[in-house]
Structure 1
């Protein structure tokens, strides 16, 4: 800061102090302090002596940010290159090729074509969108006065190889609330890992901007409309100080603001979070927060420990606790059950019954008669999937299924206690083919589906009485295919089973960035069904029977209450 700037700052401070003399104490001045000086990202220059192809190759392998990328540009290109829009992530080891028909002065100017396979993009809000496809980009390079080559024209976004991206970014789970503000919903983002000393500030600023495009309309934020009074800084005692401006919300709303901020920041810091509004405690009874102070908001999404799962075997339901048929007509074989689902709280059951003219849906108490739901005649119904209960101690009142692969239907309990079907607008999801599997996430905000043999994830948007599936995203397109079974491991991860001999079981994060292959050494293909849940063993059915595992790299163990091939195991949900 030069002398004239310092004088100007002093004058402004004095002016503000004089002006504040007439401001009532109840309305203190709002301001944002000057940003603290933070450590800049260390940017390496290009390796000396690179030829045009080596320069472009290094550009995408060593530039995890726009700042790093600029070191590879000519001064003229740097002046016009924004590099602030989407960042495109490509697989490692892309190829650099000469232009098929060379142009211009080959001694001092060359055109390099970079080809590879895109795996996705990172948007300006730091959300990853999977998009697997071959790509080709053109670069122009020019020899500089010192003899070094630099890029004179490049695509107007940062190109990053997968390894460079993993080394330069870290995943952060922002959290929002479901529309009923009963449970927390993860919103996966990727933040630049450096500089580390302002990571908390960047995360809070991103949280204040709201959900990613894929979750807009599906979640709510208690922070909506809230702004910072001062910058997020580390206080002298090590606490992360977050000072909001004039928060005009109820005590309950302020508490939910604290839940949202502290839960999000718990992944990036172990320091206490000091939450203020106009320099006073945001929540009157507490100023400094840790993750252990937060109510987890998980009761509605967590099944009781004694609910060990069920299985459809020979047209009836059996318990995976003891391998015996459950009580009631669903366990006696009265319904010729094709597939079924148990509510998260364990109290309700939805079964698909085989009939002479197709299939029917029946819903009711788990050990009682299951009344038929009056749906139109249909040849197939996907395995039902339950929405979480609307509140603790309240019976579940909504279950979904798909009729004939195209009509997504939510079946809702009326005030009279009957069940009625309503259509869900799923045009964005079904445009690429029929749905063979559909699973609601345990928070009810997302759906995972198998469409045309591929895994798709989308958001559930509720507006008054209308419900729509929006913003579907295909995960690991062309890699995970021929999918025959799907379930939620947790709110951030899916488990899929496929007919691919090389990839029978795999887990995927909901943004599709990566893929974890399960050990399949002792499975006998094909694998036909899967069920998963938090803190439970993952179960699969292969051509010999029922298997379980706790981790992807462990061998599968035979289930103590094994079921015959063709059975369908399922946990509540």
Structure 2
């Protein structure tokens, strides 16, 4: 029996863009990163056990297909010899869950020694040739012909038309690695999540550098850039230098690039390697130091380029309580100025990352209006009006976004002492259901939204002075729960609240592959808001008050502030 599909997803292919900065070279076109054919001595390759029946053989085939050694030899050994010699797996990989096999119904009698097996599973998503993951929807089903060989063993004569891999085997073979590229204004580095073969561990640095020099993934290409010129690749194998254990990366000639571009390249390399090696990075160009003043580098040496800036620890956070802003400290005093005095009827609000600016959605006759200004001062009323608006979300200190009536996205920009507003081209995001929550990543390259009760992540594209939301991808939630709010935990991780009593809060990777639920203890529905405090503390609001958790395994603890239920907390960003 075929199970109902649990996953719904959309995939839009993206193109790379050229850099907006003259000193930064154009982004290189992504290249397919092929699986390495080397043998991993820790994973023996052997044929299916003697006596494996056709149903078990097909399940075993799916469970071994993730291993890339010797061009997927583990999976190839499940095939009839003549078929195995010609089998050429597709460069992409379909990941499935809940794999099952049943005898296929037959309209005509089959010859002796021939069976047709129906392979059925739930689609999880696809690993693309550039090693990025995208969700896919629905059920997977294929008819697999199995034949008995001369030695009595069953082997597959017609394998599935694509490389189908069980989620369990994918998790055993692959690991997630953030590859770092440049943010929208080419001043810092941001992660682009990829999946690489985990063993042999000694090859991980080489795999990471190959992905880095190939450029951003398809889905991130319009939002991220690279300082590495097109055509530049490792000149020698990325490996530990003899004698001192430093990890040596020797690139081919970069050409005429500035010192700042070289530092950006160093930041991309060092931050990309940090998750696969703790060694110092010795970065070279044609055998000579890339940065003569600093030959061996660690992430701390390039910390100024890291854009995953958490809320400032000295800012207590704010909350909307009874349509005025109050501070999230032990006294919960109203903030200075009209936003705290009650002069404005505040519906939702957001604070700039440095704490200096406030954006507030306030009531007006017939609906709401967006106001922006300095913390504690008057907030200028902008020509952004509607029946409802999402909580304002900041892109740096000079730009704030909101979705109006679920259909239009606006951004407000400051020039001197005045603010102006303009509509963002977000048609790809708003073409379906209404947008009920909208949050910019701290690096400004991506946006997370709640659209029709699902999390959607999209690229924020800056091209020729125009900003647009491109390539939205739905991240299907486990158990088909309805998402009611979303926030960025880190630049590659989100936290989402739901309408479910059993699974009210999730942590999820930005590509939707990993979902991990928080405990439900102490929380009551409905959850009204989610935000992230300094130190990665997740704060949610329910009918009884504000609750915080530092980890998915922690029990929710009541935030020690004199604020009751129905408040809307938020931290800068």
Give me the TM-score of the superposition, normalised by structure 1: 0.88
SS of equivalent to 1:214: coil
SS of equivalent to 1:374: strand
Q: Residue in 2 aligned with 1:16?
A: none
Contact (CA 8 Å) 2:544, 2:566: kept in 1 or not? no
Q: Is 1:122 equivalent to 2:123 in the alignment?
A: no
Contact (CA 8 Å) 1:490, 1:534: kept in 2 or not? no
Choose the corresponding residue for 1:90, options 83, 86, 96: 96
**Partners of 1:181 and 1:327 in 2: how far apart?**
36
For residue 80 of structure 1, report the CA deviation from its aligned partner.
Answer: 3.1
**Partners of 1:105 and 1:466 in 2: how far apart?**
62
SS of equivalent to 2:277: coil
**Shift in alpha-carbon separation, 1:97–1:296, aligned structure 2, 3 A:** farther
**Partners of 1:350 and 1:100 in 2: how far apart?**
62
**Shift in alpha-carbon separation, 1:557–1:96, aligned structure 2, 3 A:** same
Q: Is 1:77 equivalent to 2:77 in the alignment?
A: no
Any stretches of 5+ residues in structure 2 without a counterpart?
1-35
Q: Residue in 1 aligned with 2:143?
A: 138
**Partners of 1:140 and 1:382 in 2: how far apart?**
53
Contact (CA 8 Å) 2:308, 2:491: kept in 1 or not? no
For residue 103 of structure 1, report the CA deviation from its aligned partner.
Answer: 4.8
Q: Residue in 2 aligned with 1:466?
A: 466
**Shift in alpha-carbon separation, 1:182–1:76, aligned structure 2, 3 A:** same
**Partners of 1:299 and 1:72 in 2: how far apart?**
47
1:440-519 to 2 correspondences below 5 Å = 440-477=440-477, 479=479, 481-519=481-519
Instruction: Give CA-to-partner distance per residue, 1:363-416, whole Å, 9 cap, x none.
Output: 0001000010012x411111110001xxxxxxx21100011100011111134x
Contact (CA 8 Å) 2:308, 2:490: kept in 1 or not? no
**Shift in alpha-carbon separation, 1:165–1:506, aligned structure 2, 3 A:** same
Choose the corresponding residue for 1:63, options 62, 65, 72: 65
SS of equivalent to 1:167: helix
SS of equivalent to 2:524: coil
Q: Is 1:362 equivalent to 2:371 in the alignment?
A: yes
Q: What number of residue pairs does the alignment pair up?
A: 529
Q: Is 1:430 equivalent to 2:437 in the alignment?
A: no
Q: Residue in 1 aligned with 2:48?
A: 46
**Partners of 2:454 and 2:526 in 1: how far apart?**
17
Q: Is 1:242 equivalent to 2:244 in the alignment?
A: no
Q: Residue in 2 aligned with 1:230?
A: 236
Any stretches of 5+ residues in structure 1 without a counterpart?
1-34, 389-395
**Partners of 2:286 and 2:536 in 1: how far apart?**
45
SS of equivalent to 1:372: strand
**Partners of 2:37 and 2:294 in 1: how far apart?**
27
**Partners of 1:495 and 1:86 in 2: how far apart?**
28
For residue 209 of structure 1, report the CA deviation from its aligned partner.
Answer: 0.5
**Partners of 2:500 and 2:370 in 1: how far apart?**
31
**Partners of 2:224 and 2:262 in 1: how far apart?**
17
**Larger displacement relative to structure 2 (102-111 or 166-175):** 102-111
**Partners of 2:40 and 2:486 in 1: how far apart?**
45
1:537-548 to 2 correspondences below 5 Å = 537-548=537-548
**Shift in alpha-carbon separation, 1:189–1:103, aligned structure 2, 3 A:** farther
Q: Is 1:303 equivalent to 2:308 in the alignment?
A: no
Contact (CA 8 Å) 2:478, 2:515: kept in 1 or not? no
**Shift in alpha-carbon separation, 1:354–1:106, aligned structure 2, 3 A:** farther
For residue 160 of structure 1, report the CA deviation from its aligned partner.
Answer: 1.6
**Shift in alpha-carbon separation, 1:230–1:478, aligned structure 2, 3 A:** closer
Q: Residue in 2 aligned with 1:527?
A: 527
1:248-287 to 2 correspondences below 5 Å = 248=255, 249-287=257-295
**Partners of 2:111 and 2:542 in 1: how far apart?**
60
**Partners of 2:47 and 2:405 in 1: how far apart?**
58
SS of equivalent to 2:160: coil
**Shift in alpha-carbon separation, 1:162–1:110, aligned structure 2, 3 A:** same
Q: Is 1:339 equivalent to 2:341 in the alignment?
A: no
For residue 477 of structure 1, report the CA deviation from its aligned partner.
Answer: 4.2
1:371-390 to 2 correspondences below 5 Å = 371-375=380-384, 377-388=385-396
**Larger displacement relative to structure 2 (294-303 or 110-119):** 294-303
SS of equivalent to 2:479: coil
**Shift in alpha-carbon separation, 1:551–1:300, aligned structure 2, 3 A:** closer
For residue 155 of structure 1, report the CA deviation from its aligned partner.
Answer: 2.3
Contact (CA 8 Å) 2:190, 2:307: kept in 1 or not? no
**Partners of 1:69 and 1:310 in 2: how far apart?**
55
Q: Is 1:99 equivalent to 2:104 in the alignment?
A: yes
**Partners of 2:562 and 2:61 in 1: how far apart?**
54
Contact (CA 8 Å) 1:39, 1:197: kept in 2 or not? no
**Larger displacement relative to structure 2 (336-345 or 270-279):** 270-279
Contact (CA 8 Å) 2:307, 2:442: kept in 1 or not? no
1:115-264 to 2 correspondences below 5 Å = 115-225=120-230, 226-237=232-243, 238-248=245-255, 249-264=257-272
**Partners of 1:131 and 1:310 in 2: how far apart?**
38
For residue 104 of structure 1, report the CA deviation from its aligned partner.
Answer: 5.9
**Partners of 1:234 and 1:104 in 2: how far apart?**
61
Contact (CA 8 Å) 1:210, 1:224: kept in 2 or not? no
Give me the TM-score of the superposition, normalised by structure 2: 0.88
**Shift in alpha-carbon separation, 1:144–1:299, aligned structure 2, 3 A:** closer
Greater gyration radius? 1
Q: Residue in 1 aligned with 2:27?
A: none
For residue 184 of structure 1, report the CA deviation from its aligned partner.
Answer: 1.7
For residue 290 of structure 1, report the CA deviation from its aligned partner.
Answer: 2.8
Q: Residue in 2 aligned with 1:408?
A: 409
For residue 39 of structure 1, report the CA deviation from its aligned partner.
Answer: 4.8
